[in-house]
Structure 1
Amino acid sequence: MDENFFKGELGLEKESLRVDAYGFLPKTKHPFPNHPNIERDFCENQIEIITDVFYSIPEVYQQLLSIQQFILKELANLNTGPEFLWPFSNPPYIRNEDDIHIATYSNHWKTKEEYRKYLAKKYGKRKMLFSGIHFNFSFESTFLESQFKSSAYESFFEYKNQLYLNLAKKITQYAWLLVYLTSASPVADGSLINDESIGKDLKGEYASFRCSEIGYWNSFVPILNYSSLKDYINSIQVYIQNGKLKFLSELYYPVRLKTKGENSLERLLTDGINHIELRMFDLNPLDPAGIKELDFTFVYYFIFYLTQLPEIDFGREEQVIAIENEKNAAKFHPDHIWIKEHGKMVPILKAAEAFLIKMKAFYKKHNRLDILECIDFQLDKVLKPDHRYSAIIKKQYGYDFVHAGIEQMKKYTREAEGSMDV
């Protein structure tokens, strides 16, 4: 196997809500207008950390943690009063939709604000508050070049695009596994649903609200054509032309294929696929960075494992099943979760164990014993469902969710203030 096979470039995007000491969304403006790694997402209160691109997991994790610590320290000392980062994917108290201030822009960026207003009207502001982590990955260039030389493709551009298209199919097919292993939002405040339920805990049905059937999805299952990059783009363009989508970024799908720079269909067609984005990860309040490094490591090697699996048929039926499986995996009680594989309904615990055992055998065969720890870490969540994050979080935060969350966010702020400056 190519010595560069296990090398890739990676980065993270992490969304979090700014909240006050009482668990409400403050009306203050975004306090980091000029930081290269800190942006806004839907609303003024939704901070997005965008790491640089690295070649190693520890480097990405450390930068994510360092930027977050910087944010926590800055928020704690705002002139307008202390603020904090909410450590959960599900939002805290929402008095009403007027509490949610859409991110404002000026000059040539004004279209960003108009797009957010469109989303608010179409999907409702509340769903836009769901926060999560996106994992961005690209293969190392020397690996791509060496694989291209031994392929039947005449064009490197075509080879590279098809490699990512094939990978996107497989990741979408197995998105259910990543959701099961990383779901970390089993409790929400009732104000996520309506104003009258503020202060009432919602729990018991979902391990991940945002990945579940009530999460942030398009009103239809997009059917994409993975035959070629042009076919893929055309299949998205159809939904834009018939009004089901307004822009490429409205494609709410577990995996996105992205070009470098501005994310548009035109750029994607001319410049080709630069990296792949996995979008199904909850914030994990049990880790100060919002994601455990072992989970991050697992996803990295999960991608490489999928790359060497045989190609799959991924037409309309398979795509619908993949999305249904992901939504099912977001349910809370694993003993009652079934997914569809090869035309049959299978208990998710059985399917997850089988996949992880095969993945472990692959890395043993290639003498990558260093990777086995992160796979065993995931197997433990399958063999002992009470070790799943959602079970732990429900136990710790399932009573008076927002008040318990306030204590956790203040704890992380105190830890950040006590850490050494980076």
Structure 2
Amino acid sequence: MLTVDSSRFEARIAALKSPEFLAALKDIKRGVEREALRINPNGTLAQTPHPKPLGSALTHDSITTDFSESLLEFITPPENSAAKTISQLKDIHKFVIDNIGEEQIWPLSMPCFIDDEAHIPIAYFGESNVGKMKRVYRIGLKNRYGSMMQAIAGVHFNFSLPETFWKLWAELNGKEHSQEQTSADYFGLIRNYRRLCWLIPYLYGASPALCGSFLKGKQHALPFKKVGKGTVYMPYATSLRMSDLGYTSAEQSSLKICYNKLDNYVTLLRDAMNTPSSRFSQFAAGEEGNYQQLSRNIIQIENELYSPIRPKQPTKSMEKPTDALVRRGISYIEVRALDVNPFSAIGISQTQFDFLDVFLVACLLMPSAELDEAQLKEAKENMNKVVLEGRNPDLLLQNGGENISLPNWCASLFKSFEQAAELLDLANDTSRYTQAVNVEAEKVADPALTPSGKLLATLLESDKDNGVLGLELAQAYQAEMKSFEYTDTDAAGFAAQADVSFAAQKEIEAADVKDFDTFIRDYFAEAPAKKNA
């Protein structure tokens, strides 16, 4: 059984209590990407284009769209204050709700009632080559997986440690500091995250039920029960969004993406981009100008890889994510396993920020051996068990090939979390981190306190549909968001950002010198970046 090497972990905790490490830990940065559907007052999906006051979806820094014109995405920049990120999110939500008329923001991860996938409008990004490419990519997603899956919303949590930390960390571990070493250390964190990320849907999963319309035309063998007029649920589910029914790809299940070394990760991801798919070969990929997808391969572009975590490096214009990683290494990690928090108007809470900091720091401090195929399979199976039956008291997970109950595994994990929380409290002169760990420990002791438990109890107590509850929350949050006071950016500031974004889109469109076919051909023909290139 894999256990935390407590002596090594505690030695690292002790070392990180030096003034230099504490100063570095205070500069952890995090950002959020929150997705949310625009809905009509009756709870149906908005059919209107991306509202003009919100600016250009192609070039706006903080407000864009994801798959659909109706699927908003709010983005905050990296900040070393969770409170500042929350205030930025509140500002964005206020501006958006004040500028979408009677429309509201859907507060759940699983979509509202949609009677026909054809009523999910694909996002439009203008007439530039890059804008057309983004749209064709989404047309490909629709053809490959269906639009309904793409209407699922989530929250991504971006996390990075400062350069000062990585220099001290390399020295502590007897290594020479370099970007290559920092990337290797980030991968150590990522491997432990993969081993333990079943905990994220347990604590934060909020999609135990979904509208029956979501299942239309889908084959599945899940033993659903019914509540209300048309809602289906699983009694112990935590996050149907993260299940095989949700945001996943059977075509990608054969991919054995490795998180042991950056070079290997990049190679495997590039291979997936260049390996033909028998399943997707039926769709045209530019022949005679017919674009039903960008390519016939397993994934069209790197962003199509579905993973609960990604290593990231900001990309330059038209730079592939793998090329950015090769050239400049890992800059931050993106946690992608979070459902929208239905008990927060902005989809995430301060407690979540604080616990995720603790969780990710603990993942770094724990020893992290390389993952073999069996361990990766075990991690995937644990994740699948928790998303479907995480609150089942009889649930057994696998740890190193041995059965263990979720509470028993958490008992040892939370000892490590408590120490990491104490460290972060010390660095930030607060008690928030310890309080966050205590809140999450209560959910382990009582599954009814989890978001999935609370949401399902609400539906069952009133024999209420998911859609009815979602609409009630949307209406309440509409009023709450309108009452927010601007903190960082006011309405005039957002209006100015919109103007700048439209001007930037026009510049991009005016600068195009290639026809679209040539642009796409050149994009995929570009030789992959190599180290030190």
TM interval, shorter chain, is: over 0.9
Structure (1 or 2) with the larger CA radius of gyration: 2
Q: CA deviation at 1:180?
A: 0.7
Q: Give the C-alpha shift of residue 199 in structure 1.
A: 5.5
**Structure 1 residues 415 and 180, CA, compared in 2 at 3 Å: closer, same or farther?**
same
Q: Which residue of 1 aligns with 2:312?
A: 258
Matched, 1:292 2:323: no
1:200 — aligned with what? Answer: 230
Cα displacement (A) at 1:283 = 0.6
Q: Which residue of 2 aligns with 1:171?
A: 193
Is 2:240 the partner of 1:209? Answer: yes
User: What are the equivalent positions in structure 2 for 1:75-94 lying under 5 Å apart?
Assistant: 75=100, 77=101, 82-94=102-114
Q: CA deviation at 1:128?
A: 0.7
Q: Which has the higher contact order (CA 8 A, sep 6+)?
A: 2
User: Is the alpha carbon distance of 1:157 and 1:278 closer, same or farther for their aligned partners in structure 2, counting shifts above 3 Å?
Assistant: same
The 3-state SS of whatever aligns with 1:330 is helix
Work out whether 1:238 is the aligned partner of 2:271: yes
Q: 1:364 to 1:149 in 2, by over 3 A?
A: closer
Aligned equivalents of 2:200, 2:50: Cα separation in 1: 32
Matched, 1:400 2:465: yes
Report if the CA contact (8 A) 2:91-2:485 is conserved.
no
What are the ranges of 5 or more consecutive residues in structure 2 without an aligned counterpart? 1-15, 219-225, 276-296, 488-533
1:396 is displaced (CA, Å) by: 2.0
Q: Where do residues 375-394 of structure 1 align in structure 2 (5 Å cutoff)?
A: 375-394=437-456
Shift of 1:361: 4.1
Matched, 1:18 2:52: no
Deviation for aligned residue 1:326: 1.2
Work out whether residues 44 and 113 of structure 2, in 8 Å CA contact, stay in contact via their aligned partners in 1.
Answer: yes
After TM superposition, the score normalised by the length of structure 2 is 0.74
Q: Match for residue 27 of structure 2? A: 7
CA shift, 1:65, in A, is 2.0
- Selected match of 1:226 from 236, 241, 259: 259
Q: Aligned partner of 1:388: which letter?
A: T
Per mean C-alpha deviation after superposition, the further-off stretch among 341-350 and 382-391 is 341-350
SS at match of 1:359: helix
Q: In the superposition, relative to structure 1, how do residues 118 and 310 fare at CA in structure 2: closer, same or farther (>3 Å)?
A: same
User: Residues 209 and 308 from structure 1, CA distance in 2 versus in 1: closer, same or farther, beyond 3 angstroms?
Assistant: same
Among 122, 136, 146, which residue is 2:168 paired with?
146
Task: Determine if the alignment matches structure 1 residue 61 to structure 2 residue 82.
Answer: no
Write the letter of the residue equivalent to 1:125. S
Secondary structure in structure 2 of the residue aligned to 1:404: helix
Is 152-161 or 303-312 further displaced after alignment? 152-161
TM-score, normalised via structure 1 length: 0.93
Matched residue, 1:324:
381
| Alpha carbons of structure 1 residues 274 and 25: separation in structure 2 relative to 1, 3 Å | same
Q: Percent identity of the aligned residues?
A: 25
User: How many angstroms does 1:53 deviate by?
Assistant: 1.2
Give me the whole-angstrom Cα distance separating, in 2, the residues matched to 1:221 and 1:215: 18
Cα distance in 1, alignment partners of residues 258 and 469 from structure 2: 45
Aligned partner of 2:128 among 79, 103, 107: 107
Within a 5 Å distance, the mapping from 1:304-383 to structure 2 comes to: 304-332=361-389, 333-364=391-422, 368=426, 370=431, 371-383=433-445
Q: Are the aligned partners of 1:96 and 1:195 in contact in 2 as well (CA < 8 Å)?
A: no
Corresponding residue for 2:519?
Answer: none
The DSSP-based 3-state class of the residue aligned with 1:173 is: helix
Asked if the contact 2:201–2:387 (Cα under 8 Å) also holds between the matched residues in 1, the reply is yes
2:138 corresponds to 1:116: yes
Q: Which moved more, 1:114-123 or 1:343-352?
A: 343-352
**CA RMSD of superposed structures (Å):** 2.1
User: 1:365, 1:115 → 2: CA distance?
Assistant: 44
Structure 1 residues 122 and 100, CA, compared in 2 at 3 Å: closer, same or farther?
A: same
Tell me if structure 2 keeps the 8 A contact 1:221–1:320: no
CA distance in 2, matches of 1:222, 1:164: 21
Instruction: Say if 1:331 and 1:337, in contact at 8 Å, map to a contact too.
Output: no
Q: Structure 1 pair 336/123, CA: closer, same or farther in 2 (3 Å)?
A: farther
Residue of structure 1 equivalent to 2:302: 248
1:242-265: CA deviations, max 9, x gaps? 232221111101110111225521
Structure 1 residue runs without a partner (length 5+):
none
Paired residues in the alignment total 417
Cα distance between partner residues in 2 of 1:418 and 1:142: 40
CA distance in 2, matches of 1:405, 1:246: 33
Secondary structure at the counterpart of residue 334 of structure 1: coil
Q: Is the 8 A contact 1:397 1:405 kept in 2?
A: no
Deviates most, 369-378 or 353-362 = 353-362
